[in-house]
């Protein structure tokens, strides 16, 4: 299975720019997606196909990358962005998720 590696946690101040990385163990082309999960809630889609903003998601969120290296950027970060962020690939079977990056605000 394709393993997706994310840094476990980040702490930033409101108003700053944060980048969350995801590295795949093999190429996933641009079939990489990002989700936000707040405590006690289901995940929600932020970015699909590496760089496409899901409808209704603030333009503060953006995604980039292809092949094995991908980035989710939040600029500027707001207090409401406290959550865990997951990357997910759908190029190789089975679809797999990263372990998640927990974003905390200082």
Query: Where along the sequence are the contacts to another protein (CB under 8 A)?
Result: 31, 33, 35, 42-45, 48-49, 52, 54, 86, 88, 90, 93-100
Residue placing its CB nearer to another protein in the complex, 36 or 68: 36
Structure tokens at 13: 């101040």
Q: Which residues contact 38 (CB under 8 A, 6 or more apart)?
A: 82, 83, 84
In whole angstroms, the minimum distance from the beta carbon of 39 to another protein comes to 10
Residue placing its CB nearer to another protein in the complex, 15 or 94: 94
In whole angstroms, the minimum distance from the beta carbon of 5 to another protein comes to 12
Residue placing its CB nearer to another protein in the complex, 15 or 40: 40
Q: Identify the residue whose tokens are 């079977």.
A: 93
> How many other CB atoms sit within 10 Å of the CB of residue 42?
7
Select from 96, 62, 58, 94 the least CA-distant residue to 78.
58
């Amino acid at each position: 299975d394709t393993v997706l590696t994310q840094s476990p946690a980040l702490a930033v101040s409101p108003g700053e720019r944060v980048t969350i990385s995801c590295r795949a163990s093999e190429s996933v082309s641009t079939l990489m997606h990002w989700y936000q999960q707040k405590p006690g809630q289901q995940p929600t889609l932020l970015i699909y196909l590496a760089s496409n903003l899901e409808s209704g998601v603030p333009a503060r969120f953006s995604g980039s990358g292809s092949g094995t290296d991908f980035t989710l950027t939040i600029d500027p970060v707001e207090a409401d962005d406290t959550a865990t962020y997951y990357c997910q690939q759908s190029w190789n079977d089975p679809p797999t998720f990263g372990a998640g990056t927990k974003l905390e605000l200082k």
